Amino acid sequence: SVATKRDDARKRLDGLASKERREEAKRLGLLTSDEVDAILEAHERSWYVSTGSGAPRLRVDTNQVSSNAPIEDYLAWSPLASTQFMFGVFDGHAGYMCAEQLSTRLAPMLSESLKAVDKLIAKDGDKLIANDGDKDLAPTDVGGTALKLRREAPGIAWDRVPLALTATFVRMDHELVTDSLAEFQRTRDAATVDALLGPAVSGSCGLVAVVDTEANEVVVANTGDSRALLGVRLGDGRWKAVRLSEDQTADNANETARMTREHPNETSVIHRGRVLGGLMPTRAFGDCRYKWPLDAQRDLFPTLYERGHRYATTPPNYTTPPYVTARPVIVRHKLGPNDKFVVVATDGLYDQLSDDEVVGSLGQWYDARSAGMEGNSLTTQDENAATHLVRAALSTDRLGRRDDTVIRRLLAIPPPHSRRFRDDISVQIITLNQ
């Protein structure tokens, strides 16, 4: 079985030095095509979403293939209204606990945030203005966060969904990082330290797309380096990839400028392409080592580290925290008749495929299905769009060539040793106008 093969491979790799382990991994035998299919199909899901009377349906395809053990990626989706739906991917790092919390808690908070924003503001055309409901909002809940955001930028005319998304991301991170710290400092209950502070020590990127079939728009909130793409069918039949988010890393000039502006005269704020030389994304949930005051870190990190939280360490040159924010960058897009699908995926997918390759490969899959093509080729063998995309990613070598021996070799390397060769991959594909 696949499990037996991988377990045997894991035993061969355990205990080897890094260089030896990498060379031994290359000598592992290939999986069979059936064994590859078993791995790829283990976590695939497809379903249709009804969007109200007379409205077109959405088709949703999802899949995940792990490289970490356990997987650090999480997916979430939730209806927000009869024609409005949330789709999220949460790419954890330094452990899974932060991403796990986001996958269960962020959608309910977004629903609460939308209700709070409706109470907070009244419509003035397409824009939103504050009303007398302001005084009823508690400063410690998501509605109070929305109010604070408006007051901090009085010249900005917020729209409903962007304000709700921003308030949700900011409030969620505050609960994970700041409220949990205050609660533990209040109780000092050793029995709760892991559950309470573990999600703060670990971290996660987060990307949420809100698709509204009545308003014909998609709103994307992004914190970190997951990515959303729109697949557009051009008039001549070609496919075009349109980014609905930008990766927030040191490679993003806007992010580097923001970090430098917020931490002037700190030459190491971006070092070796990472925040303080350590963290790749410049925005993230959790990651308290880039947010907590130094005295809190000195107080709690030794205990947390002893309990197995190996990232409970203070970065070098830590002088003016917080260095990392969970506040998202928002992109709104009005959907047109040629906009066919939205891809929401963690960076493990984009490590393997470019934007054009993602949309082009999916476009070929859609075209083949529309033409009724069948068979066992890379384009036609998968019924699930996300599975097709994961297969394409893991079948592509570093020169962009596709061969099934690539995926048969990659998937033969068991987690967590496979992390040296590939990342966790999590994908949600929302097909429009079904």
End-to-end alpha carbon distance in the chain: 38
Confidence at 360, pLDDT banded by 50, 70, 90: very high
Confidence at 132, pLDDT banded by 50, 70, 90: very low
Specify the pairing of strand 58-65 against strand 329-334: unpaired
Q: Which of 54-58, 187-191, 198-202, 302-306 has the lowest mean pLDDT?
A: 54-58
Output the six-digit token pair for 184.
């533990």
Among 300, 288, 165, which Cα is nearest to 219's? 165
Question: Is residue 289 a contact partner of residue 201, using CB atoms and an 8 Å limit?
Answer: yes
- pLDDT tens for each residue of 398-434: 888 889 999 999 999 999 899 989 999 999 999 998 6
Q: Indicate if the pLDDT at residue 124 is higher than 50.
A: no
- pLDDT tens for each residue of 371-405: 888 776 777 899 999 999 999 999 998 888 889 99
Q: What is the pTM (predicted TM-score) of this model? A: 0.93
User: If DSSP codes are grouped into helix, strand and coil, which group holds residue 304?
Assistant: helix
Per-residue pLDDT, 54: 66
Q: Indicate if the pLDDT at residue 232 is higher than 90.
A: yes
Per-residue pLDDT, 140: 63
Write out the DSSP string of 119-135: HHEEEETTEEEE-GGGG
Q: Indicate if the pLDDT at residue 134 is higher than 80.
A: no
Write out the DSSP string of 208-233: EEEEETTTTEEEEEEESS-EEEEEEE
- pLDDT tens for each residue of 206-231: 999 999 999 999 999 999 999 999 99
Determine the Cα–Cα distance for residues 216 and 34; give it in Å rounded to an integer: 41
Q: Indicate if the pLDDT at residue 14 is higher than 80.
A: yes
Confidence at 128, pLDDT banded by 50, 70, 90: low
Determine the Cα–Cα distance for residues 424 and 415; give it in Å rounded to an integer: 10
Q: Residue 129: beta bridge partners?
A: 122
Among 243, 314, 329, 328, which Cα is nearest to 279's? 314
Average pLDDT over residues 43-64: 88
Q: Indicate if the pLDDT at residue 122 is higher than 60.
A: no
Determine the Cα–Cα distance for residues 65 and 389; give it in Å rounded to an integer: 11
Determine the Cα–Cα distance for residues 372 and 351; give it in Å rounded to an integer: 31
- pLDDT tens for each residue of 171-212: 999 999 999 999 999 999 999 999 999 999 999 999 999 999
Question: What is residue 177's DSSP assignment?
Answer: I
